[in-house]
Each structure stands twice: as C-alpha cells, then as structure tokens.
Amino acid sequence: MRRTAAIALSLVLIIALLMSGCASYPNLTAEQDEMISEYAVSLLLKYDSENHSRLIDTSEFMNMYNTALKIREYGMAAYEAEKAAEEEARRAEAEAQQTSMALTDNPSGGSNNDGTGGATVIDSSTASISIEEFLNANDFSISYSGFDIKNSYPDESTDYFFSMDSTTGNDLLVIYFDVKNNGSAQTLNIFGMNTTFKLNINNQGFHSAFKTMLEDDLSEYLGDFAAGESKKLVLIYEVPEGTAVSSIELSLSSNSKGSITKPLLY
C-alpha cells in the first residue's frame, strides 16, 4: 500500500514539474489544467494515511473475524456452564447418598450397616467371589496395589490422550489395580459388562467411581493383553482437600449378578 501511495505521489510531482515548465509540455486549456489538478488531489486523498478508504474493502473479512471470536466466546461459556452443572449434579448425588441409610447395595433387601460406627458387613454369600470372577475375567488376576492423592491425573509426562483435574477444593483419589493376564493373548472387556463400581472412603458411604475416558480406567476398560502381560489400571474418585485416607472398600454390582463388596484398605 505504501509503495502504491509513493507511486501516486511521484506521479503528482511529475505532473507538477511538467506544468511548471521544467519539461516540454503541450499547451492546455484552463479546463484541462483543472481536470489534471483534481485528478492529482484525488490520488493524494486516496492514499492519505488519515483517509480510511482502501483499494480492497476489508469490512467483510473483519465481520467474519469478529463473528468467529464471538462464536468461540459463546462456546467457552457453554463449556464452563456444562462443567459447572455436571459438578453440581455430582455433589447433589453425593449428598443424597450420604443421607441414605444403606451403605451399599444389598440384593436381599436388608441393611448392611451393623451399627458399629458405619462399618460395612460383607455379605458372606459373595465374600469368596473375586473381582475377576465377578467380571467374568477368570483368566485374569485383579488385585489392589495402592493409591495416590493428586491434583491431576495422569502426570504431564505420561503420554495419554485424555487427562483430568480435580475441582476447586478437592483432590483426586487415584486407586491402583494390578491386572495380569494368566492365559493366552486375549481382550479384557469391562466396558461392555454394565458393571457399577462404587467406593466407600473412610466409611463415609458408597459412591460411584468416576466414569472417565482415561485409557487405564478399570471401570471402562477395553483393551488387549498379550499372554502373561500385566497392566496397572485405576479407579478415580474425588475427596476434599486434606483428606487422610484410612480405609477403602470397593463394591461391584450388576443387574444380572447382584453385588459384592471387597475391602481394599482397612
């Protein structure tokens, strides 16, 4: 644009020099002189930095850009609103479950609280059933192997596509399980079993573990194991910041098999 303006200015100067007698120039009438002067002035105005006219009208492109910015702002606002609504629904569910008298699912309809300060009585009819048996994964062994309390999972150094952060005022409780394939190469499909995983932390009642899109989420896992291969899978739960975890119980339930309760940390 500056180059074009410079060319226009040069043209005006040349015209002025020609008209001043510095070069051979044909005699013009007063009307022709006025036309050349008006043309020169129009060129100067066209490329004047204070003049807002342009060779290319960019107003349409600016409108498109501003519209895209507004769409992005609306999208971010909608995402934050949905996230807040999900968190509120989760908190409401947790409060409702905390006020419930039943601490775990009981197929017989009786209470599982033995009156000893919230301790859960394990149903003797299902106590001997292992986690892998309940999940119809008899060629696998699934055992609890510890927990961590984190602000986010997995760590940034881990090459996972999905990750999650704790909400304000809370920490993530990450519970680890060692899962080993004791048979030939096969697929472990917990995702398709329609099994509910619940956790009882510090005898505060059973609440559903988070369903996530993490690659190593035990409750939603679907993946292949080589013969003899072991993997570490997790269940994710959220606890208030500063929580000291002293006990963990796991409850598995399904419409077809009832439920079992397994103490993990006690």
Residue 69 scores a pLDDT above 50: yes
Average pLDDT over every residue of 25-53 = 58
Question: In sequence order, what E strands does the chain have?
Answer: 140-150, 152-153, 164-165, 170-181, 186-189, 196-201, 206-208, 222-225, 230-240, 248-254, 258-265
Residue 15 scores a pLDDT above 50: yes
Q: Which residue has the higher pLDDT, 212 or 119?
A: 212
What total number of domains does the chain contain?
Answer: 2
Q: How confident is the model at residue 247 (pLDDT cuts 50, 70, 90)?
A: very high
Q: Point out the domain boundary residue: 14, 31, 47.
A: 47
Whether 118 and 225 share a structural domain: yes
Whether 38 and 104 share a structural domain: no
Whether 34 and 108 share a structural domain: no
198 strand-pairing partners: 208, 251
- What tens digit of pLDDT does each residue of 77-109 get? 666 666 666 666 666 665 665 555 444 444 444
Rounded to a whole number of angstroms, the CA Rg of the chain reads 37
Q: Which tokens belong to 169?
A: 């005022």
In a domain, 186, yes or no: yes
Average pLDDT over every residue of 195-205 = 96
Whether 18 and 101 share a structural domain: no
Looking at the chain, the whole-number percentage of residues with pLDDT higher than 70 is: 50
In a domain, 70, yes or no: no
Whether 111 and 174 share a structural domain: yes
pLDDT at 240: 95
Cα–Cα distance measured from residue 142 to residue 130, given in angstroms and rounded to the nearest whole number: 8
pLDDT at 241: 95
Instruction: Tell me: cis bond preceding 240? Omega within 30 of 0 counts.
Output: no
pLDDT at 123: 41
Residues of the domain holding 43: 2-47
Whether 101 and 24 share a structural domain: no
Looking at the chain, the whole-number percentage of residues with pLDDT higher than 90 is: 42
- The answer to whether 177 and 142 are in contact (CB under 8 A) is yes
Residue 251 scores a pLDDT above 80: yes
Average pLDDT over every residue of 156-178 = 86
Cα–Cα distance measured from residue 122 to residue 26, given in angstroms and rounded to the nearest whole number: 113
pLDDT at 116: 31
Please report which helix (H) or strand (E) contains residue 8, including its range: helix 2-20
In a domain, 155, yes or no: yes
Q: Which tokens belong to 213?
A: 């899109």
Q: Point out the domain boundary residue: 47, 64, 84.
A: 47
CATH of the domain at 149: 2.60.40
Whether 101 and 39 share a structural domain: no
Cα–Cα distance measured from residue 263 to residue 121, given in angstroms and rounded to the nearest whole number: 10
pLDDT at 122: 39
Average pLDDT over every residue of 11-18 = 52
Average pLDDT over every residue of 25-47 = 60
In a domain, 139, yes or no: yes
pLDDT at 128: 79
Instruction: Give 67's Cβ-side CA count (13 Å radius).
Output: 6
Residue 255 scores a pLDDT above 70: yes
In a domain, 85, yes or no: no
Cα–Cα distance measured from residue 48 to residue 196, given in angstroms and rounded to the nearest whole number: 72
- What tens digit of pLDDT does each residue of 104-153 get? 444 444 333 333 333 333 343 455 789 999 999 999 999 999 999 999 99
**What is the SS3 assignment for 201?**
strand
Q: Point out the domain boundary residue: 13, 28, 47.
A: 47
Cα–Cα distance measured from residue 197 to residue 188, given in angstroms and rounded to the nearest whole number: 16
Contacts of 192 (CB under 8 A, 6+ apart): 222
Whether 43 and 123 share a structural domain: no
Q: How confident is the model at residue 155 (pLDDT cuts 50, 70, 90)?
A: confident
Whether 35 and 125 share a structural domain: no
Rounded to two decimals, the pTM is 0.55
In a domain, 91, yes or no: no
Neighbours of 174 (CB within 10 A): 19
In a domain, 68, yes or no: no
Whether 38 and 103 share a structural domain: no
- The answer to whether 48 and 8 are in contact (CB under 8 A) is no
Whether 39 and 114 share a structural domain: no
Whether 101 and 42 share a structural domain: no
Q: Which residue has the higher pLDDT, 77 or 264?
A: 264
In a domain, 238, yes or no: yes
